[in-house]
Amino acid sequence: MQKTLSDLPQIQTLLGLPTIADVIARFSHAETADALREIIAGLRADLRAGRAPLFPDFQSMEFAEALSARIEVARAPSLTPVINATGILIHTNLGRARMAPQAIAAMQATGAAASNLEFDLATGKRGSRHSHVEHLICTLTGAEAAVVVNNCAAAVLLGLMGTANGRSVVASRGELIEIGGSFRLPDVIAQSGATLREVGTTNKTRVDDYARAIDADTAVLLKSHTSNFKIVGFTAAPDRRDLARLAAQHDVILMEDLGSGVLIDLSPYGLPDEPVVADILKSGVDLVMFSGDKLLGGPQAGIIAGRADIVADLKAHPLMRALRVDKSSLAALEATLRLYLPPFDPVQTIPVLQMLSAPLAQVESRAITLTDALTAKGVSGVALHESAAYVGGGSLPDQALPSFAVSLRMPDVSAQKLTAALRAQKTPVIGRIERDQVMLDMRTVWDAELPAIVAAVEQINRR
Ligand SMILES: *Cc1c(COP(=O)(O)O)cnc(C)c1O
């Protein structure tokens, strides 16, 4: 007989069934009730839409098992590792920088035990969490002092709040950036309590433009890295040394939001335009901010480095505690920064820099290995292509890195369907679509990840 809305059982009644009591005992009352509500809602929607749904036998073992399976699926971890085959080295949506084993070990160790996070082992008195990485940052950048907060956005906010609250910040119209996630520099300046004085034009700003805007209210000249776009052609931006001289003359602070912030020269690896933090500080910038998980290759963190008097003020700021870095990130950051010091070679040990610096032949051989492995498993429609990888993470939008990709094409399966199937695997594989085929870029993939890719593609191919 055709079922109607009045045939739908009450959730309370279902929860009282002996078979369902077993499900509650295995999981929880809340999860079981949620799953039942979803099932009943589905049936109700079908009835309302005039689709005659098949009612399960609510008292059966089969129904209890299906319910358990549903709760099991809902319990699956949400945040999970994936394989980044996009060719974007620092992919914001895929968790940005992957970390070095040393950084992961440090997080694990400080997570599993008590630590001297804010305890001075020499005196037995209260210590400062800022102490653990400050000397390393200073060694690596030449800064007088440094402090670390939650991320670079927090670093910029704190830097401005601590120096320009109630006063004005002078910035070039060509550098009023928006990066993802609602970080818009003019809005951040406003939230810091400062007033923005825009100077120059979109494409050209000169030292004189800054000079004319300085008055008794001015606290900061702010430069920022135009991380995710590039203005080309008829352009001008002042030399940092000239701006530093101007700032010193007027006793205002020259601050720079570097975004990525690199600690070593990356020009040998095809990134000639990314200034090194130490050089920026040497040119007279008073305070710089940069991310821990972009080209630095560590955990999410925001590093503030520069003049000791300014850093001391920021450490004492009332909102420091709201923005401070947590112990796991601090542990990972310390371990990552150590990899920049001898005997280590950061380019050999920090994953982001390894991907960046990998010789093209190595990327090609990875692509050949994958192509051969897939072909050996009977997967057809696999081909090798020259490709372009990018740094990503809002860094260096026009710097293509030579790479190799493996393309996949399956009969009667659209590229969209194929990427969806790759995402649905136990270890999701994230590729990109180009000219109607799925591309798996090998510059961002590790050799150790190839077997999981082969298993994923083979599984899809078998269906
Ligand atoms: C990425 C970026 C930020 C924000 O850094 P997060 O670490 O993501 O908070 C700020 N400014 C610039 C110029 C950036 O590129």
pLDDT tens string 392-417:
876 666 789 999 999 999 888 899 99
Nearest CA to ligand 1 atom 13: 259
pLDDT value of residue 394: 66
CATH code of domain 101-344: 3.40.640.10
pLDDT above 70: percentage of residues in the chain: 99
The structure tokens 């077997």 sit at 451
Q: What is the pLDDT of residues 47-56, one digit of tens each?
A: 999 998 999 9
Cα(180) to centroid of ligand 1, in Å?
Answer: 9
Residue 138: Cβ-neighbour burial (10 angstroms; 0-12, 13-18, 19+): middle
Asked if residue 142 lies in contact with residue 282, where contact means CB atoms within 8 angstroms, the answer is yes
Q: Which residue has the higher pLDDT, 393 or 9?
A: 9
pLDDT value of residue 214: 97
Q: What is the pLDDT of residues 78-115, one digit of tens each?
A: 999 999 999 999 999 999 999 999 999 999 999 999 99
Nearest CA to ligand 1 atom 1: 259
pLDDT value of residue 274: 86
pLDDT value of residue 154: 97
Q: What is the pLDDT of residues 206-216, one digit of tens each?
A: 999 999 999 99
Instruction: From the CA of 292, give the closest atom in ligand 1.
Output: 7
The residue whose CB lies within 8 Å of the most ligand 1 atoms, and thus the one to mutate among 175, 223, 227, is: 227
Cα(72) to centroid of ligand 1, in Å?
Answer: 38
3-state helix, strand, coil in the chain (%, to 5): 45, 20, 35
Q: What is the pLDDT of residues 11-36, one digit of tens each?
A: 999 999 999 999 999 999 999 999 99
Distance of alpha carbon 325 from alpha carbon 43, whole angstroms: 48
The structure tokens 């940052």 sit at 137
pLDDT value of residue 392: 87
Cα(225) to centroid of ligand 1, in Å?
Answer: 9
The residue whose CB lies within 8 Å of the most ligand 1 atoms, and thus the one to mutate among 183, 223, 293, is: 183
Which residues approach ligand 1 with their CB closer than 6 A? 151-153, 156, 177, 179, 183, 224-225, 227, 257, 259-260, 291, 302, 394
Distance of alpha carbon 139 from alpha carbon 359, whole angstroms: 29
Asked if residue 405 lies in contact with residue 430, where contact means CB atoms within 8 angstroms, the answer is no
Instruction: From the CA of 154, give the closest atom in ligand 1.
Output: 9
- For residue 90, which of 287, 305, 352 has the smallest C-alpha distance? 352
Cα(422) to centroid of ligand 1, in Å?
Answer: 30
pLDDT value of residue 65: 97
pLDDT value of residue 307: 98
**Where in the chain are the domains?**
5-75, 83-91+353-462, 101-344
Q: What is the pLDDT of residues 234-268, one digit of tens each?
A: 888 889 999 999 999 999 999 999 999 999 999 99
Cα(356) to centroid of ligand 1, in Å?
Answer: 20
Looking at domain 83-91+353-462, its CATH class is alpha beta
Cα(233) to centroid of ligand 1, in Å?
Answer: 25
Mean pLDDT of 367-379: 96
The structure tokens 């796991």 sit at 328
Q: What is the pLDDT of residues 132-177, one digit of tens each?
A: 999 999 999 999 999 999 999 999 999 999 999 999 999 999 999 8
Cα(142) to centroid of ligand 1, in Å?
Answer: 22
Nearest CA to ligand 1 atom 10: 259
Cα(154) to centroid of ligand 1, in Å?
Answer: 9
Mean pLDDT score across all residues of the chain: 95
Q: What is the pLDDT of residues 438-454, one digit of tens each?
A: 999 999 999 999 999 99
Kindly state the tokens that stand for 192. 């810091």
Return the bridge partners of 405, or none: 385, 441
Q: Identity (one letter) of the amino acid at 354?
A: Q
pLDDT exceeds cutoff 70 at 1: no
pTM of the entire structure? Answer: 0.92
Asked if residue 163 lies in contact with residue 310, where contact means CB atoms within 8 angstroms, the answer is yes
261 conformational bin, left if phi > 0, alpha if psi -120 to 50, beta if neither = left
Coil, strand or helix: which one is 398?
Answer: strand
